[in-house]
Structure 1
Protein backbone atom coordinates (compact mmCIF):
# COMPACT_ATOMS: atom_id res chain seq x y z
CA UNK A 1 0.00 0.00 0.00
CA UNK A 2 1.26 3.46 -0.91
CA UNK A 3 0.07 6.83 0.20
CA UNK A 4 0.95 10.14 -1.38
CA UNK A 5 -0.14 13.77 -1.30
CA UNK A 6 -0.32 16.07 -4.29
CA UNK A 7 0.60 19.62 -3.45
CA UNK A 8 0.61 21.15 -6.90
CA UNK A 9 -1.16 19.74 -9.92
CA UNK A 10 -0.47 20.95 -13.42
CA UNK A 11 -2.45 20.11 -16.47
CA UNK A 12 -3.23 21.48 -19.82
CA UNK A 13 -4.82 24.84 -20.40
CA UNK A 14 -8.19 24.99 -22.04
CA UNK A 15 -8.35 27.65 -24.71
CA UNK A 16 -11.25 30.02 -24.10
CA UNK A 17 -14.22 29.81 -26.45
CA UNK A 18 -16.23 32.89 -27.22
CA UNK A 19 -19.95 32.75 -27.78
CA UNK A 20 -20.56 35.67 -30.11
CA UNK A 21 -24.32 35.03 -29.99
CA UNK A 22 -24.51 35.64 -26.21
CA UNK A 23 -25.22 39.25 -25.27
CA UNK A 24 -24.08 38.47 -21.71
CA UNK A 25 -20.51 37.74 -22.85
CA UNK A 26 -18.23 40.41 -21.38
CA UNK A 27 -16.29 42.94 -23.45
CA UNK A 28 -18.73 43.48 -26.30
CA UNK A 29 -19.75 47.00 -27.20
CA UNK A 30 -21.39 46.64 -30.61
CA UNK A 31 -23.74 44.19 -32.28
CA UNK A 32 -23.28 43.07 -35.87
CA UNK A 33 -26.36 41.76 -37.64
CA UNK A 34 -25.52 39.13 -40.25
CA UNK A 35 -28.34 37.38 -42.09
CA UNK A 36 -30.71 38.23 -39.25
CA UNK A 37 -28.43 36.79 -36.55
CA UNK A 38 -26.79 38.99 -33.91
CA UNK A 39 -23.08 38.78 -33.22
CA UNK A 40 -21.70 40.60 -30.18
CA UNK A 41 -18.16 41.92 -30.67
CA UNK A 42 -15.63 44.39 -29.33
CA UNK A 43 -14.97 47.46 -31.51
CA UNK A 44 -11.46 48.00 -30.18
CA UNK A 45 -10.30 44.45 -30.82
CA UNK A 46 -11.67 44.38 -34.37
CA UNK A 47 -10.22 47.84 -35.03
CA UNK A 48 -6.75 46.72 -33.92
CA UNK A 49 -6.76 44.10 -36.66
CA UNK A 50 -8.74 45.81 -39.41
CA UNK A 51 -8.46 49.34 -40.81
CA UNK A 52 -11.91 48.78 -42.32
CA UNK A 53 -13.46 48.19 -38.89
CA UNK A 54 -11.40 51.05 -37.44
CA UNK A 55 -12.82 53.45 -40.03
CA UNK A 56 -16.33 52.06 -39.53
CA UNK A 57 -16.30 52.31 -35.73
CA UNK A 58 -14.16 55.40 -35.16
CA UNK A 59 -14.17 57.30 -38.47
CA UNK A 60 -16.71 59.67 -39.90
CA UNK A 61 -19.27 57.03 -40.84
CA UNK A 62 -22.84 56.66 -39.58
CA UNK A 63 -21.91 53.29 -38.04
CA UNK A 64 -19.70 55.14 -35.53
CA UNK A 65 -22.63 55.85 -33.23
CA UNK A 66 -24.75 52.80 -33.97
CA UNK A 67 -25.15 50.01 -31.42
CA UNK A 68 -26.29 47.53 -34.08
CA UNK A 69 -24.77 47.41 -37.55
CA UNK A 70 -26.09 45.29 -40.39
CA UNK A 71 -23.38 43.57 -42.41
CA UNK A 72 -24.36 42.58 -45.95
CA UNK A 73 -23.07 39.88 -48.29
CA UNK A 74 -21.44 37.87 -45.50
CA UNK A 75 -22.03 34.29 -44.43
CA UNK A 76 -22.73 34.11 -40.68
CA UNK A 77 -20.69 30.96 -40.01
CA UNK A 78 -17.73 32.21 -42.03
CA UNK A 79 -17.73 35.50 -40.12
CA UNK A 80 -17.79 33.67 -36.78
CA UNK A 81 -14.85 31.58 -38.04
CA UNK A 82 -13.07 34.85 -38.85
CA UNK A 83 -13.76 36.15 -35.35
CA UNK A 84 -12.37 32.95 -33.86
CA UNK A 85 -9.09 33.67 -35.65
CA UNK A 86 -9.01 37.26 -34.39
CA UNK A 87 -10.05 36.52 -30.80
CA UNK A 88 -7.68 34.35 -28.71
CA UNK A 89 -9.60 31.12 -29.26
CA UNK A 90 -6.76 29.05 -30.68
CA UNK A 91 -8.63 28.29 -33.91
CA UNK A 92 -6.56 27.69 -37.03
CA UNK A 93 -7.04 27.86 -40.76
CA UNK A 94 -8.00 24.58 -42.38
CA UNK A 95 -8.45 23.28 -45.90
CA UNK A 96 -12.20 23.74 -45.44
CA UNK A 97 -12.15 27.35 -44.23
CA UNK A 98 -9.05 28.88 -45.83
CA UNK A 99 -10.70 30.22 -49.01
CA UNK A 100 -13.73 31.91 -47.39
CA UNK A 101 -11.57 33.33 -44.59
CA UNK A 102 -9.05 34.62 -47.11
CA UNK A 103 -11.90 36.41 -48.89
CA UNK A 104 -13.15 37.98 -45.64
CA UNK A 105 -9.63 38.89 -44.50
CA UNK A 106 -9.11 40.66 -47.81
CA UNK A 107 -12.46 42.45 -47.58
CA UNK A 108 -11.69 43.75 -44.08
CA UNK A 109 -7.93 44.14 -44.72
CA UNK A 110 -6.94 41.90 -41.81
CA UNK A 111 -3.22 41.53 -42.43
CA UNK A 112 -2.71 39.00 -39.63
CA UNK A 113 -5.14 36.55 -41.26
CA UNK A 114 -3.91 37.28 -44.78
CA UNK A 115 -0.39 36.37 -43.59
CA UNK A 116 -1.66 33.23 -41.85
CA UNK A 117 -3.60 32.20 -44.95
CA UNK A 118 -0.58 32.75 -47.17
CA UNK A 119 1.55 30.53 -44.91
CA UNK A 120 -1.20 27.91 -44.73
CA UNK A 121 -1.58 27.79 -48.52
CA UNK A 122 2.19 27.76 -48.96
CA UNK A 123 2.36 24.44 -47.08
CA UNK A 124 -1.01 22.99 -48.11
CA UNK A 125 -0.92 19.80 -50.15
CA UNK A 126 -4.66 19.85 -50.92
CA UNK A 127 -4.48 22.55 -53.60
CA UNK A 128 -2.55 22.29 -56.83
CA UNK A 129 -0.14 24.95 -58.06
CA UNK A 130 -2.68 26.52 -60.43
CA UNK A 131 -5.24 26.98 -57.63
CA UNK A 132 -2.61 28.46 -55.34
CA UNK A 133 -1.39 30.73 -58.12
CA UNK A 134 -4.93 31.93 -58.77
CA UNK A 135 -5.45 32.72 -55.07
CA UNK A 136 -2.07 34.43 -54.82
CA UNK A 137 -2.99 36.67 -57.74
CA UNK A 138 -6.51 37.39 -56.51
CA UNK A 139 -5.41 38.32 -52.97
CA UNK A 140 -1.95 39.75 -53.74
CA UNK A 141 -0.05 37.05 -51.82
CA UNK A 142 3.43 37.73 -53.19
CA UNK A 143 5.33 35.04 -51.25
CA UNK A 144 2.83 32.39 -52.30
CA UNK A 145 2.98 33.58 -55.89
CA UNK A 146 6.79 33.37 -55.90
CA UNK A 147 6.59 29.90 -54.38
CA UNK A 148 4.16 28.75 -57.08
CA UNK A 149 6.20 30.23 -59.91
CA UNK A 150 9.30 28.46 -58.54
CA UNK A 151 7.40 25.18 -58.94
CA UNK A 152 7.13 25.75 -62.70
CA UNK A 153 10.49 24.31 -63.75
CA UNK A 154 9.89 23.17 -67.31
CA UNK A 155 7.97 24.14 -70.44
CA UNK A 156 5.77 21.12 -69.78
CA UNK A 157 4.86 22.50 -66.32
CA UNK A 158 3.79 25.78 -67.90
CA UNK A 159 1.80 24.02 -70.64
CA UNK A 160 0.05 21.89 -68.01
CA UNK A 161 -0.77 25.05 -66.06
CA UNK A 162 -2.41 26.52 -69.17
CA UNK A 163 -4.73 23.49 -69.34
CA UNK A 164 -6.17 24.02 -65.85
CA UNK A 165 -9.54 25.64 -65.12
CA UNK A 166 -7.91 28.38 -63.06
CA UNK A 167 -5.69 29.57 -65.88
CA UNK A 168 -6.83 32.77 -67.57
Structure 2
Protein backbone atom coordinates (compact mmCIF):
# COMPACT_ATOMS: atom_id res chain seq x y z
CA UNK A 1 0.00 0.00 0.00
CA UNK A 2 1.82 3.08 -1.22
CA UNK A 3 1.45 6.39 0.60
CA UNK A 4 0.58 9.04 -1.95
CA UNK A 5 2.33 12.39 -2.11
CA UNK A 6 -0.53 14.40 -0.61
CA UNK A 7 -0.79 12.17 2.47
CA UNK A 8 2.98 11.93 2.95
CA UNK A 9 3.25 15.69 2.89
CA UNK A 10 0.68 15.89 5.65
CA UNK A 11 2.47 13.21 7.63
CA UNK A 12 5.71 15.21 7.32
CA UNK A 13 4.00 18.37 8.53
CA UNK A 14 3.85 20.14 5.17
CA UNK A 15 0.58 21.69 4.04
CA UNK A 16 -1.29 20.65 0.92
CA UNK A 17 -4.03 22.33 -1.09
CA UNK A 18 -6.28 19.29 -1.35
CA UNK A 19 -9.91 20.01 -0.59
CA UNK A 20 -11.97 17.66 1.57
CA UNK A 21 -13.71 16.32 -1.54
CA UNK A 22 -10.37 15.80 -3.32
CA UNK A 23 -9.02 13.84 -0.37
CA UNK A 24 -11.98 11.47 -0.63
CA UNK A 25 -10.77 10.56 -4.11
CA UNK A 26 -7.14 10.00 -3.08
CA UNK A 27 -6.68 6.23 -3.07
CA UNK A 28 -3.66 4.88 -1.20
CA UNK A 29 -4.91 1.31 -1.59
CA UNK A 30 -4.40 0.85 -5.33
CA UNK A 31 -1.21 -1.15 -4.95
CA UNK A 32 -0.08 -3.67 -2.38
CA UNK A 33 3.14 -3.90 -0.38
CA UNK A 34 4.64 -5.94 2.46
CA UNK A 35 1.96 -4.72 4.88
CA UNK A 36 -1.06 -5.82 2.83
CA UNK A 37 -2.40 -9.35 2.92
CA UNK A 38 -5.89 -9.12 1.41
CA UNK A 39 -7.27 -7.75 -1.83
CA UNK A 40 -10.80 -6.53 -2.44
CA UNK A 41 -12.52 -6.23 -5.81
CA UNK A 42 -15.05 -3.42 -6.15
CA UNK A 43 -16.49 -2.34 -9.51
CA UNK A 44 -13.80 -4.50 -11.21
CA UNK A 45 -11.07 -2.48 -9.44
CA UNK A 46 -8.60 -3.74 -6.84
CA UNK A 47 -8.05 -2.44 -3.31
CA UNK A 48 -5.25 -3.72 -1.08
CA UNK A 49 -5.56 -3.71 2.69
CA UNK A 50 -4.38 -5.34 5.91
CA UNK A 51 -6.51 -7.93 7.69
CA UNK A 52 -5.21 -6.94 11.10
CA UNK A 53 -6.37 -3.33 10.71
CA UNK A 54 -9.78 -4.50 9.51
CA UNK A 55 -10.15 -6.87 12.49
CA UNK A 56 -9.18 -4.17 15.00
CA UNK A 57 -11.89 -1.90 13.59
CA UNK A 58 -14.68 -4.35 12.86
CA UNK A 59 -16.09 -7.48 14.54
CA UNK A 60 -17.64 -8.34 11.18
CA UNK A 61 -14.19 -8.65 9.63
CA UNK A 62 -13.03 -10.67 12.64
CA UNK A 63 -15.77 -13.20 11.92
CA UNK A 64 -15.00 -13.11 8.21
CA UNK A 65 -11.30 -13.85 8.64
CA UNK A 66 -11.39 -16.20 11.65
CA UNK A 67 -14.72 -18.00 11.26
CA UNK A 68 -15.71 -20.77 8.92
CA UNK A 69 -16.29 -18.53 5.92
CA UNK A 70 -14.83 -18.81 2.45
CA UNK A 71 -13.15 -15.42 2.90
CA UNK A 72 -11.02 -16.79 5.75
CA UNK A 73 -8.14 -17.91 3.55
CA UNK A 74 -9.01 -15.97 0.42
CA UNK A 75 -6.45 -13.58 -1.02
CA UNK A 76 -9.12 -11.79 -3.03
CA UNK A 77 -12.61 -10.88 -1.84
CA UNK A 78 -15.35 -9.44 -4.02
CA UNK A 79 -17.66 -6.75 -2.63
CA UNK A 80 -20.64 -6.80 -5.00
CA UNK A 81 -23.14 -3.99 -4.84
CA UNK A 82 -20.62 -1.57 -3.37
CA UNK A 83 -19.38 1.65 -4.94
CA UNK A 84 -15.61 1.88 -5.41
CA UNK A 85 -15.23 5.48 -4.22
CA UNK A 86 -17.36 4.76 -1.13
CA UNK A 87 -15.16 1.83 -0.12
CA UNK A 88 -11.98 3.86 -0.66
CA UNK A 89 -13.31 6.60 1.64
CA UNK A 90 -14.48 4.01 4.17
CA UNK A 91 -11.05 2.36 4.23
CA UNK A 92 -9.39 5.76 4.68
CA UNK A 93 -11.53 6.32 7.77
CA UNK A 94 -10.50 2.92 9.11
CA UNK A 95 -6.75 3.09 8.47
CA UNK A 96 -4.74 4.76 11.29
CA UNK A 97 -2.40 6.50 8.82
CA UNK A 98 -5.20 8.30 6.97
CA UNK A 99 -7.97 8.52 9.60
CA UNK A 100 -7.08 11.94 11.03
CA UNK A 101 -6.67 13.49 7.57
CA UNK A 102 -9.96 12.17 6.18
CA UNK A 103 -12.87 14.41 7.18
CA UNK A 104 -16.52 13.53 6.88
CA UNK A 105 -18.19 15.60 4.15
CA UNK A 106 -21.70 16.01 2.77
CA UNK A 107 -20.75 13.64 -0.05
CA UNK A 108 -19.43 10.90 2.20
CA UNK A 109 -21.83 11.12 5.18
CA UNK A 110 -24.57 8.72 4.06
CA UNK A 111 -22.30 6.07 2.47
CA UNK A 112 -20.07 6.11 5.54
CA UNK A 113 -22.98 5.62 7.91
CA UNK A 114 -24.32 2.75 5.81
CA UNK A 115 -20.95 0.98 5.61
CA UNK A 116 -20.13 1.65 9.26
CA UNK A 117 -23.45 0.06 10.24
CA UNK A 118 -22.95 -2.92 7.95
CA UNK A 119 -19.44 -3.65 9.26
CA UNK A 120 -20.07 -2.39 12.81
CA UNK A 121 -17.23 0.16 12.79
CA UNK A 122 -18.16 2.26 15.80
CA UNK A 123 -15.49 4.96 15.52
CA UNK A 124 -16.70 5.83 12.00
CA UNK A 125 -20.29 6.08 13.26
CA UNK A 126 -19.09 8.38 16.03
CA UNK A 127 -17.16 10.53 13.57
CA UNK A 128 -20.29 10.92 11.42
CA UNK A 129 -22.31 11.82 14.52
CA UNK A 130 -19.81 14.55 15.42
CA UNK A 131 -20.13 15.95 11.90
CA UNK A 132 -23.93 16.02 12.17
CA UNK A 133 -23.75 17.72 15.57
CA UNK A 134 -21.36 20.34 14.20
CA UNK A 135 -23.68 21.13 11.28
CA UNK A 136 -26.69 21.41 13.57
CA UNK A 137 -24.84 23.65 16.01
CA UNK A 138 -23.88 26.06 13.22
CA UNK A 139 -27.51 26.21 12.08
CA UNK A 140 -28.87 26.62 15.62
CA UNK A 141 -26.47 29.48 16.33
CA UNK A 142 -27.30 31.18 13.02
CA UNK A 143 -23.71 30.94 11.81
CA UNK A 144 -24.62 28.82 8.79
CA UNK A 145 -27.75 28.74 6.64
CA UNK A 146 -29.15 25.23 6.40
CA UNK A 147 -30.50 24.75 2.88
CA UNK A 148 -33.26 22.33 1.98
CA UNK A 149 -30.62 20.08 0.40
CA UNK A 150 -28.65 20.14 3.63
CA UNK A 151 -31.79 19.48 5.63
CA UNK A 152 -32.71 16.46 3.54
CA UNK A 153 -29.17 15.10 3.86
CA UNK A 154 -29.15 15.43 7.65
CA UNK A 155 -32.66 14.00 7.89
CA UNK A 156 -31.61 10.90 5.95
CA UNK A 157 -28.54 10.56 8.17
CA UNK A 158 -30.62 10.91 11.35
CA UNK A 159 -33.04 8.17 10.36
CA UNK A 160 -31.55 5.91 13.05
CA UNK A 161 -32.55 5.16 16.63
CA UNK A 162 -29.22 6.36 18.03
CA UNK A 163 -29.60 9.73 16.27
CA UNK A 164 -33.14 10.57 17.41
CA UNK A 165 -31.93 13.56 19.47
CA UNK A 166 -30.27 15.02 16.37
CA UNK A 167 -33.48 14.55 14.42
CA UNK A 168 -35.39 16.52 17.07
CA UNK A 169 -32.83 19.30 16.84
CA UNK A 170 -33.26 19.32 13.06
CA UNK A 171 -37.05 19.60 13.44
CA UNK A 172 -36.54 22.61 15.72
CA UNK A 173 -34.22 24.31 13.22
CA UNK A 174 -36.63 23.84 10.29
CA UNK A 175 -39.67 24.87 12.33
CA UNK A 176 -38.10 28.31 12.83
CA UNK A 177 -37.60 28.96 9.11
CA UNK A 178 -39.84 31.48 7.38
CA UNK A 179 -42.95 30.07 5.72
CA UNK A 180 -41.96 31.48 2.33
CA UNK A 181 -38.64 29.62 2.36
CA UNK A 182 -40.41 26.37 3.17
CA UNK A 183 -43.22 26.67 0.64
CA UNK A 184 -40.94 27.83 -2.20
CA UNK A 185 -38.73 24.77 -1.87
CA UNK A 186 -39.74 21.91 -4.14
CA UNK A 187 -37.88 19.47 -1.92
CA UNK A 188 -39.73 20.39 1.25
CA UNK A 189 -42.85 18.46 0.27
CA UNK A 190 -40.71 15.43 -0.55
CA UNK A 191 -39.71 15.12 3.10
CA UNK A 192 -41.22 12.20 5.05
CA UNK A 193 -44.72 12.84 6.33
CA UNK A 194 -43.78 12.22 9.97
CA UNK A 195 -41.02 14.83 9.75
CA UNK A 196 -43.36 17.42 8.24
CA UNK A 197 -45.95 16.63 10.89
CA UNK A 198 -43.38 17.25 13.64
CA UNK A 199 -42.30 20.51 11.99
CA UNK A 200 -45.85 21.86 11.71
CA UNK A 201 -46.72 20.69 15.24
CA UNK A 202 -43.76 22.65 16.60
CA UNK A 203 -44.71 25.71 14.53
CA UNK A 204 -48.25 25.58 15.94
CA UNK A 205 -46.87 25.34 19.48
CA UNK A 206 -44.61 28.32 18.76
CA UNK A 207 -47.57 30.35 17.46
CA UNK A 208 -49.58 29.50 20.57
CA UNK A 209 -46.76 30.74 22.79
CA UNK A 210 -46.46 33.94 20.73
CA UNK A 211 -50.21 34.45 20.91
CA UNK A 212 -50.15 34.07 24.67
CA UNK A 213 -47.34 36.62 25.04
CA UNK A 214 -49.14 39.03 22.72
CA UNK A 215 -52.37 38.73 24.70
CA UNK A 216 -50.51 39.36 27.96
CA UNK A 217 -48.67 42.37 26.51
CA UNK A 218 -51.91 43.92 25.20
CA UNK A 219 -53.60 43.46 28.57
CA UNK A 220 -50.71 45.16 30.34
CA UNK A 221 -50.77 48.10 27.94
CA UNK A 222 -54.57 48.39 28.29
CA UNK A 223 -54.25 48.39 32.07
CA UNK A 224 -51.50 51.02 31.98
CA UNK A 225 -53.48 53.47 29.86
CA UNK A 226 -56.91 52.96 31.41
CA UNK A 227 -58.13 56.07 33.15
CA UNK A 228 -55.43 58.27 31.56
CA UNK A 229 -55.57 60.95 28.94
CA UNK A 230 -54.18 59.32 25.70
CA UNK A 231 -52.52 62.59 24.81
CA UNK A 232 -50.57 62.60 28.08
CA UNK A 233 -49.45 58.97 27.90
CA UNK A 234 -46.03 59.69 26.48
CA UNK A 235 -44.50 56.24 27.10
CA UNK A 236 -47.19 54.26 25.23
CA UNK A 237 -45.12 53.86 22.01
CA UNK A 238 -42.19 52.57 24.04
CA UNK A 239 -44.39 50.03 25.77
CA UNK A 240 -45.85 48.84 22.49
CA UNK A 241 -42.37 48.51 21.00
CA UNK A 242 -41.19 46.58 24.04
CA UNK A 243 -44.14 44.19 23.80
CA UNK A 244 -43.50 43.51 20.10
CA UNK A 245 -39.80 42.97 20.81
CA UNK A 246 -40.65 40.39 23.48
CA UNK A 247 -42.81 38.53 20.99
CA UNK A 248 -40.16 38.52 18.27
CA UNK A 249 -37.39 37.08 20.43
CA UNK A 250 -39.43 34.06 21.52
TM-score range, shorter chain: 0.7 to 0.9
CA distance in 2 between partners of 1:149 and 1:135 (Å): 13
Q: CA-to-partner distance for each residue in 1:135-165, whole Å, 9 max, x for gaps?
A: 21247424423433554768x99xx7xx642
Task: Quote the offset at 1:14 in angstroms.
Answer: 5.0
TM-score (normalizing by structure 1): 0.74
Please name the residue that 2:13 is paired with: 13
Alpha-carbon RMSD: 2.9
Say if 2:32 and 2:49, in contact at 8 Å, map to a contact too.
no
Say if 1:106 and 1:139, in contact at 8 Å, map to a contact too.
no
The alpha-carbon distance between structure 1 residues 51 and 108, as it changes in their structure 2 partners (threshold 3 A), is same
Say if 1:32 and 1:38, in contact at 8 Å, map to a contact too.
yes
Structure 1: unaligned runs, 5 residues or longer = 1-11
Which has more helix, going by share of residues? 2
CA distance in 2 between partners of 1:98 and 1:116 (Å): 10
Say if 1:27 and 1:42, in contact at 8 Å, map to a contact too.
yes
The alpha-carbon distance between structure 1 residues 143 and 45, as it changes in their structure 2 partners (threshold 3 A), is farther
> How many residues in Structure 1 have an aligned counterpart in Structure 2?
150
CA distance in 2 between partners of 1:113 and 1:29 (Å): 23
CA distance in 1 between partners of 2:29 and 2:83 (Å): 14
CA distance in 2 between partners of 1:31 and 1:48 (Å): 17
Larger Rg: 2
- For the residue of structure 1 that corresponds to 2:190, the secondary structure is coil
CA distance in 2 between partners of 1:139 and 1:71 (Å): 27
Task: Give the number of the structure with larger relative contact order, counting CA–CA contacts within 8 Å between residues 6 or more apart.
Answer: 1
Q: CA-to-partner distance for each residue in 1:65-97, whole Å, 9 max, x for gaps?
A: 111111111111110011111112111111222
The correspondence for 1:132, drawn from 150, 154, 164, is 154
TM-score (normalizing by structure 2): 0.52
The correspondence for 1:79, drawn from 87, 90, 94, is 87
Say if 1:28 and 1:43, in contact at 8 Å, map to a contact too.
yes
Say if 2:27 and 2:88, in contact at 8 Å, map to a contact too.
no
Which 4+ runs in 1 deviate beyond 6 A?
A: none
The correspondence for 1:166, drawn from 177, 184, 191, is 191
